[in-house]
Chain A
Amino acid sequence: MSWRDVKPIDCDIHVVVPHTGVLLPYLDDYWRDYVTVRGVRNLDMTSYPPTAPLTSRPDWRPATGHAGTDLALLRRHVFDELGAQIAICNVVWGAQALHHHHLAAALCRAVNAWVAAEWLDREPRLRASIVVPWQNAAHAVEEIERCAPDRRFVQVLLLAMADQPLGREHYWPIYEAAARHGLPIAIHAGSAYRHATTSLGWPSTLLEDYVAQASGFQNQLMSLICEGALSKFPDLKVVLVESGVTWLPAFMWRANKIWRAMRMETPWVDRPPAAIVRDQVRLTLQPFDAPPDAAVVERVIEQIDSDRTILFATDYPHWQFDEDEVIPAGLSADLARRVLVDNALATYPRLESLS
């Protein structure tokens, strides 16, 4: 089967805030003054330098400006060429990395309003993640409540590295609100740079930083399990976005083993971690860290041992694959069908109601 026979649901594309100026119409007077007078020109993130090869595939780069800022190009690439029927856009932007949590709340609110007006209203095949000021859980819940009635917002967006591990109770009001509204929690690669991106300290290259994101996901998943967040909210789905995927089997083996040995420490974790992962955790497809060897891919897929876990995603406009080689060789036709459409529908209740 070619994946071209099915119109997929793309669970990770990127829309980019070109500069803070585009958000001014969505800020109240106080915050508009604040960002203008104080010169907050842009908060694009260190994790994704806009000109780095990772951040934009060469043939998806516009003639001027940054990739992910032009709706006409996005339509052509994502819907016409890659064939998506629906695409979920994630705005990875620095409002979520600010120390000033009130400013963060104002800017997240503006980003979500901007996405709704400038992207969702203009392209009915787009969906979006709610960007939340997770620095302050009460602000984040308020933003979820504000956006949730708009069912084109299908999940809540967090980053893979910030102040404290994501299982901590600081974040539980966010998870409670998300679960109540049928919104999965998406954790996207990226760091708010509160801590060195590796436990060994600050690396010297973007390459090391990006490779370290996979470890960041491993740590966050362990935190969500061990703190009991996933057990507390059994209906909550967590989507790991741009995580690399193939580290998952080794993670589950290690998590099961240490849980068997040390479960007295966290008695609220009442099932093997791998069972929790298979029930509640989903991973987007790209990047898929594997050699171009179908046998290896098949084996890793067997080890993941769940046909519900992987969600189709191109990570547009990030450069993770060439041409249309988005599905790794080694996925069976049956699994590919689930990955392309079914798993997203099962993960995002809000897609089903609109499809």
Chain B
Amino acid sequence: MNETLVRTAGATPVKDGVVDCDIHPLPARPDDVLAYMPERWQEHHRVYGSHFRAPFRESSPWPRAAPAISRRDAWPPNGNMPGSDLPFMREQHLDLHNIEFGILQVLGFATGSQRNLDYSAAIASALNQWQLDYWCNPEPRLKGSIVIPTEDPEAAVAEIERWAGHPAFAQIFMTPRLTEPMGRRRYWPIYEAASRHNLPIGIHGGGHGAHATTGGGWPSYYIEEHPTAGQSAQALITSLIVEGVLERWTNLRFVVVEAGFAWVPALGWRLDKHWRRLRSEVPHIERLPSEQMHQHFWFTTQPVDEPERPDDMRRTFDWIGWDRILYASDYPHWDFDDPRYAFPFRLSPEERAMLFRDNAVSLFGLA
């Protein structure tokens, strides 16, 4: 399906380097992560395994585009999983694309999907120590995301307290499909802690939640399921605004990762229009929803939406606000966006700098 391109080094989009806001690391061996867990939970993992709110233990309900959801050329020479070999990641991505900083997004292990909350807390702690030891310390260009046991907010806050202020961690990591919509009070302790430590929260699309993938039931095909990340993102923004989270903690910053961006303006228009109509239901929401969206949300570009007329991508960025767009590659996954080719229209030097680097540097405080 996807042919390996002959890649030429040198043509970098930004002289000063690129910030890639979505890189997926995996352990070369699961034991690399499990070794950080107390023996009780290692034993639990050996006997009962991880739990996904999905029918298959190891496979997606919708077969993905490619093995390990990955580019066919992303398997390291040692045969381990894509994204598990730092020297190969350096060669194939970080060096080739002049990546100045990369934000790690740890999928797998599904902390929010576990039956056993104490086990999910043990996994989250282990993943954070593993990120530091295997990735961020050996490769300072890579910044970690604090993985939390989302469904146990008290333990999640403890994990945030453990890592907040550590220069290797750029943000808190969440996925959107939880037990309840993201704005519900169950999750407020997480937002309080994020606000107190002024940490951005990255919300990575997808995952298996407690509910059907669409309001009208379960889709049949990956081709349908893949774009539902966009609808989930619309729901999470709606929930965070309507529950009043953003008016309560006014410094919160959310990064919507891997859900596209072309839908963002229409969601703002819809929220504004119907908020005006139903204000009596939500008198606690005082600020125009689209203003709240612009203030509190950033959007990563991958998988880059492809308007039929390239200039419509520029117009979409104009509507969202250029200061809220962050480049992301999704390395090593199959739908990787190459920073050299992902944007089919001419960017001014200022736009280029914002999109590929400066917005992320300022959001995450990278230096």
Contacts and interface: CB of A to CB of B under 8 A. Distances in A.
Nearest to A272: B308
B242 interface: yes
A208 B237 CA distance: 10
A257 B228 contact: no
B209 A266 contact: no
B270 to A, nearest CB: 4
Contacts of A290: 269, 273
Contacts of A244: 266, 270
Contacts of A161: 214-217
B182 A200 contact: yes
Given A165-B217, A168-B220, A219-B215, A53 B277 contact: yes
Interface string B188-227: 0000000000000000000001111111111111111011
A265 B235 contact: no
Contacts of B282: 205, 207
A263 B223 CA distance: 8
A255 interface: yes
A215 interface: yes
Contacts of A205: 242, 278, 281-282
Pick the most buried of B218, B228, B232, B278: most chain A CB atoms within 10 A of its CB.
B278
Given A250-B263, A252-B308, A201 B224 contact: no
Interface residues of A, number: 72
A206 B335 contact: no
A154 interface: no
A230 to B, nearest CB: 14
Contact of A207 (B210, B211, B274, B312): B274
A218 interface: yes
Contacts of B269: 246, 289-291, 296
Nearest to A245: B266
B285 to A, nearest CB: 9
A232 to B, nearest CB: 15
Contacts of B308: 252-253, 256, 274, 303, 305
Interface string B152-191: 0000000000000000000000001111111110000000
A160 B216 contact: yes
A204 B242 contact: yes
B320 to A, nearest CB: 11
A164 B235 contact: no
Contact of B216 (A52, A54, A165): A165
Interface residues of B, number: 69
B307 interface: yes
B76 interface: no
A261 B65 CA distance: 9
A226 B220 contact: yes
B271 A211 contact: yes
B177 A199 contact: yes
Contacts of B267: 211, 214, 247
B231 interface: yes
B239 interface: yes
A191 B278 contact: no
A319 interface: yes
Contacts of B303: 257
Contacts of B307: 249, 253, 303
Interface in B88-146: none
Contacts of B183: 204
A299 B315 contact: yes
Contacts of A19: none
Interface in A5-27: none
A203 interface: yes
Contacts of B338: none
B175 to A, nearest CB: 10
A34 interface: no
Interface in A177-214: 191, 194-208, 210-212, 214
A216 interface: yes
A258 interface: yes
A163 interface: yes
Contacts of B272: 291
Contact of A166 (B216, B274, B305): B216
B215 A226 contact: no
A9 B304 CA distance: 39
Contact of A191 (B215, B223, B226, B281): B215
A201 B181 contact: yes
B215 A254 contact: no
Contacts of B230: 218, 250, 254
B262 interface: yes
Nearest to B219: A165
Given A200-B181, A201-B209, A254 B218 contact: no
A198 B215 contact: yes
Given A196-B212, A199-B235, A274-B308, A250 B219 contact: no
A69 interface: no
Pick the most buried of A166, A206, A212: most chain B CB atoms within 10 A of its CB.
A212
Nearest to B309: A303
Contacts of B263: 247, 250-251, 254
B266 A246 contact: yes
Given A198-B239, A249-B262, A289-B270, 8 more contacts: A164-B218, A199-B177, A203-B242, A204-B183, A223-B216, A252-B308, A256-B306, A287-B273
> Which 6 A-B residue pairs are closest in the complex by CB-CB distance?
A250-B262, A219-B214, A198-B235, A195-B212, A215-B231, A289-B270
23 contacts: A52-B281, A162-B217, A165-B218, A167-B220, A191-B216, A197-B215, A198-B181, A198-B232, A199-B232, A204-B242, A204-B243, A205-B282, A206-B278, A211-B267, A214-B270, A215-B214, A215-B235, A222-B219, A223-B220, A246-B265, A247-B266, A254-B230, A296-B319
